[in-house]
Amino acid sequence: MFILSSVLLSISVIFIVIISFVYLNPKAVTHFALNAERNRSGLTRKEINLPDGLHFAYLEGGQGEPLILLHGFGGNKDTFTRVSRFLTQHYRIIIPDIIGFGESSHPPQADYAPPAQVERLRALAQALGLKDLHLGGNSMGAQIAMTYAAHYPTEVKSLWLLSPSGVWSAPRSDVLKVLAETKHNPLIARNVKEFSQVMALGMRKPPFIPKPMLSVLAQERIANAVLEERIFQQLLEHSVEEQVTGMKTPSLIVFGVQDRIISVVTAEYLHKLLSRSQVMFMPNVGHVPMFEQPRQSADDYFQFRAALPD
């Protein structure tokens, strides 16, 4: 009984120390947690300056055929960290902060429409010595990935499209209806409360994050709110539909059934446009399947890749 009490006391002390550290130095704890997740997934943070002066921060890991993964609107490179734990065992993974987000450059007056982002990402790929590659993207990232494949079809071997945006003829989602009716964008986080609300919109079951760490994570979005307003408007003005109609790039379209940001019906519209596409729906999942269900997302992707011709 004494030994059990001592063990419980030790556990309680450790728990109290951890909680105290979270509240006393939340920035350090948050960075430690992010780095631990990256290390677990075999990813290393890197950075590069392109000849035009743009700065890219990115994660890289694994070996094999290159797979570039593009995060969604308001996200950053760590959106794909969880699923990369499985992907780096098979492929060379590169996950950039897209220009305008994360630790990459944020030129205030730049063109942020998908065609302009494609040129920047292609310049990054060339700087890293990548020629033929596979592309994956979530939401905005998928919209950019489709645009990339449409502009450079011989350079993109396949597309992994997770909750893709850019098919604006499809029915509006709950979020886009709110935006149209109120002119208030619920995906822009101007304070910590709104950041928490954005997470709730994006995921069916957002992970528990202690409030001090949540506040640290929110600062990136809060500081970028004005620029994100411009970027979002440029995304809405760019449809991928005409340019991808009949496109022959093998494509896996994935939607969480509980997606509130992009209508799930979008999958049907896009499937008809892409001549070599297949669709998968994930139950009890929201807008970021690869974050909410990383193992299942990876397994589905492996099956898709295994069926591609050599």
Among 41, 71, 134, 173, which one carries the catalytic annotation?
Answer: 71
To the nearest whole percent, how much of the chain has pLDDT over 70? 92
| 19 vs 108, residue with greater confidence | 108
Give the three-state DSSP class for 6. Answer: helix
Q: Is this prediction's pTM over 0.95? A: no
Q: What Rg do the C-alpha atoms of the chain give, in angstroms?
A: 20
158 is catalytic: no
Q: Is the per-residue pLDDT at 54 higher than 50?
A: yes
**Residue-range domains of the chain with CATH:** 41-306 (3.40.50.1820)
**Residue 59 CB neighbour total at 10 angstroms:** 24
Report the SS3 class of residue 32. Answer: helix
What length is written for the chain? 310
Tokens of residue 272, six digits: 């008809």
C-alpha to C-alpha distance for 132 and 66, rounded to whole angstroms: 8
Please write the tens of the pLDDT for every residue from 79-134. 999 999 999 999 999 999 999 999 999 999 999 999 999 999 999 999 999 989 99
Structure tokens at 10: 């030790």
pLDDT (average), residues 151-157: 97
User: Higher pLDDT residue, 220 or 26?
Assistant: 220
Task: Tokens for 279, please give them.
Answer: 């669709």
- 41, 104, 105, 139: the catalytic one is 139
Instruction: Determine the Cα–Cα distance for residues 94 and 46; give it in Å rounded to an integer.
Output: 10
The per-residue pLDDT for 21 is 54
Q: Could you give the CA distance from residue 37 to residue 207 in angstroms, rounded to a whole number? A: 14
At 24 the pLDDT is 63
Instruction: Let me know if 139 is a catalytic residue.
Output: yes
Q: 3-state class of 287 per DSSP?
A: coil
At residue 18, does pLDDT exceed 80?
no
Q: What local confidence, expressed as pLDDT, does residue 213 receive?
A: 83
